[in-house]
Structure 1
Amino acid sequence: MLNAIKTFFCSELQGSTTSTNEHQQQLACAALLIEVAIVDQEFDSDELQTLTNILQSKFNITPEECETLCTLAQSECEQATSMYQFTQLVNESCSAEEKFELIKGMWTIAYADGNLDKYEEYVVRKVSELIYVSHSDFIRAKLQARP
């Protein structure tokens, strides 16, 4: 995973002063957001557009960089045996506010297609627990993301 991250960010963000740890954080967050989008077996255009908007605004990246990040994150999701590798990176590198924003983004993607699937809700709940977001913040994020 680390080599893919280094290759992506070296080729896409050559002039960037961003550290590898921040790149790993971006990939981990993108992977967790994608987990919500794909868990119901329907990764539709509304979810993709919502994912793109969240990543571009959160990480201040170009559409091309976002597309590459999404492709890499989706590949990492397919190869991962659990969400632990992603949640561990989030725990090591994200503040409480960043974790809250991640959960809010996950809820936003879950609601994007107009149908909150039980598996989407499960993934958001599980990630919330694994990254130590309080239940009250979990609910607050859900309410803020609800359309």
Structure 2
Amino acid sequence: MLRTIKDLFDSVLAPARNAPEREHSLQLATAVLLVEVMRADDGFSAGERDAVVDAMNRTYPMAPDELDRLLDLAHEHARSASDFHQFTSVLNDRLSTDEKIRIVEYMWRVAYADDHLGDHENHLMSRIAGLLNVTHGQYIAAKMRARD
């Protein structure tokens, strides 16, 4: 009987223990997608980096040094990732549709930050929005809000 009670307590407390790790994986997944949009064209500008920083601060406020470390890690993951599924699945599992649309809008802001929207950026945005299960109408509305 004591074993059963202990198992019950462990199952209740386990999500709380894993909360920081779950939050970090959500932050990293978001940062990787934003960084990937920034890296989509030939180079990235200070405006694009500022757009990534702004999006991350709006979504997951954190200390500047913590954000710098997260973005460094996001760059590493973006360079070594073979696809986006590992990142979009984290967001799909944990974010609402409205939150995912907001991430897509932030990605558009990054894409527009250098005043040039390349074909590769456009294709990348469409691909990621599809993986996030954002409808075409929601995708276009996010694009329009980001452009305005």
Q: How big is each residue's C-alpha offset from its partner over 1:40-97, in whole Å with a ceiling of 9 and x where there is no partner?
A: 1211111011111111121011211111111001101111111111111111111111
Higher Rg = 2
Q: Does 1:79 align with 2:83?
A: no
Q: Cα RMSD between the aligned structures?
A: 1.3
Where does 1:61-80 land on structure 2 (aligned, <5 Å)? 61-80=62-81
Matched residues in 2 for 1:56 and 1:121: separation?
24
Runs of 4 or more off by more than 2 Å in structure 1? none
Q: Secondary structure at the match of 2:82?
A: coil
Q: Secondary structure at the match of 1:40?
A: coil
Q: Contact 1:31–1:86 (CA<8 Å) still a contact in 2?
A: yes
Task: With the length of structure 1 as denominator, give the TM-score of the two structures.
Answer: 0.85
Question: Where does the alignment leave 5 or more consecutive residues of structure 2 unmatched?
Answer: 1-17
Aligned to 2:129: 128
Question: Where does the alignment leave 5 or more consecutive residues of structure 1 unmatched?
Answer: 1-16
Aligned to 1:6: none
Q: Contact 1:104–1:141 (CA<8 Å) still a contact in 2?
A: yes
Where does 1:87-126 land on structure 2 (aligned, <5 Å)? 87-126=88-127
AA in 1 matched with 2:58: S
**Shift in Å, 1:18:** 4.7
How many residues were matched structurally? 131
AA in 2 matched with 1:117: G
Task: With the length of structure 2 as denominator, give the TM-score of the two structures.
Answer: 0.85
